[in-house]
Amino acid sequence: MMTGNSVETHNLTVIYNKKPAIWNIDFTLPAGKIIGVMGPNGSGKSTLLKAIMGIIEPNIGYAKIFDKDLDDVRERVSYVPQRQSVDWDFPASVWDVVAMGRYARKGMLKRLSAEDKSIIEESLEKVNMTAFAQRQISQLSGGQQQRVFLARALAQQADIYFMDEPFVGVDAATEEAIINLLKSMRDQGKTLIVVHHDLHTAQDYFEWMVLLNTRLVRVGPVEDVFNQETLTETYGGTLTTLSKVASLLQEKSFPMRHK
């Protein structure tokens, strides 16, 4: 079982169009757990994930993964983007997409070895998509697309997985298959950070939770942070003064930090 910190953020702030999308996010997450990131629409869940992984450059603050800079642990980090973020009409087969997971280690130039290929096959096996390996990706159902994305992440053989809404638009069977997969990955000591928005299943799926609404509302073990009070705080509305200040920043073009 992995111990220690998986992710640590310091004052992490991302500004879109002069307005903070996430503001002063400060937390430490444990390793080897399934951690949910929850909050209403537009609360910055995806932005938080992308900022931690360096896909978006934070305007202020920084994030560390396994107590190191992202560039030093890149090989140990895997990402499952939102399914709708790509064009599934792209000319590629299921195999082609899962193979991308191996390119994380191979880089842009090296050829895939026999070992890579067997890892790709294993990953397909784990999400029950072996029969679809040669299928064109445009012919997949939503649940199958999500499985392909998961297989690609698995093929990376990483230690920490960031998943953006993996349960959106999938059938019940896929949802159950995915959560079982996540649990077995957790049992192997992997850390899973999952953006999710279904409150009904949250308690069953996650051990830890990050409640987010532009600012950090709560972070901690589910039993401590998931209750009526914190949910009201997260979903019930924005802090009026805080959002007023954010609007002022945007309107008046004030910088958030100055020398």
Partner 1 sequence: MTFIREIISFFTFSEPNVKVVFLGSLILCAISGLVGTFTFLRKRSLIGDVISHAVLPGIALAFIIGHQKNVLYLIIGATITGWISTYLVEYITRHSKIKSDTAIALILSVFFGIGVLLLTHIQHTGAGSQSGLDQFIFGRASAMNQSDIVLFGSVGIVILVLTLIFFRGFSILSFDEGYANAIGFPIAWLKLILSIITVITVAMGVQAVGVVLMSALLITPAAAARFWTNKIHILAILAVLFASISGIIGSAVSYTYNGMPTGPWIVVIVSLLAFLSAIIGSKTGILKSWNLRRRNNVKILKENTIKLFYALNSEQPDNSGFQFSEIAENARMENTTLRSGLKLLRKEGWLIGNDRQGYQTTEEGKREARAIVRKHRLWELYISKYMHLQPDHVHDDAEGIEHVITPEIERELEEQLDFPKLDPHNSEIPY
Sites of contact with partner 1 (CB under 8 A): 50, 53-55, 71, 74-75, 77-79, 81, 85-87, 90-93, 96-97, 100-101, 103-104, 107-109, 136, 138, 152, 156, 162
Question: How big is the CA angle at 19 (ends 70 and 243), to the nearest 5 degrees?
Answer: 115
Q: Which is nearer to partner 1, 53 or 202 (CB)?
A: 53
Shortest Cβ 103–partner 1 spacing (Å): 6
Residue among 79, 83, 93 nearest 142 (CA): 83
| Lookup: tokens for 61 | 């603050």
Interstrand relation of 215-221 and 77-80 (parallel, antiparallel or unpaired): unpaired
Shortest Cβ 238–partner 1 spacing (Å): 23
Residues paired with residue 194 on neighbouring β-strands, in sequence order: 36, 163
Q: What is the arrangement of strands in the sheet containing 34-38, beginning at the earlier edge strand? A: 77-80, 160-164, 191-195, 34-38, 208-213, 215-221
Q: Which helix (H) or strand (E) holds 238?
A: none
Q: Which is nearer to partner 1, 102 or 186 (CB)?
A: 102
Shortest Cβ 30–partner 1 spacing (Å): 22
Residue 61 near residue 100, CB atoms below 8 Å: no
Shortest Cβ 98–partner 1 spacing (Å): 12
**Residue 25, CA atoms < 13 Å, CB-side half-sphere:** 35
DSSP string, 86-119: S-TTSS-BHHHHHHHHHHHHHTTTPPP-HHHHHH
Q: Which is nearer to partner 1, 10 or 74 (CB)?
A: 74
Q: Which is nearer to partner 1, 29 or 158 (CB)?
A: 158
Shortest Cβ 235–partner 1 spacing (Å): 27
Q: Which is nearer to partner 1, 96 or 207 (CB)?
A: 96
Q: Which is nearer to partner 1, 136 or 238 (CB)?
A: 136
Shortest Cβ 50–partner 1 spacing (Å): 7
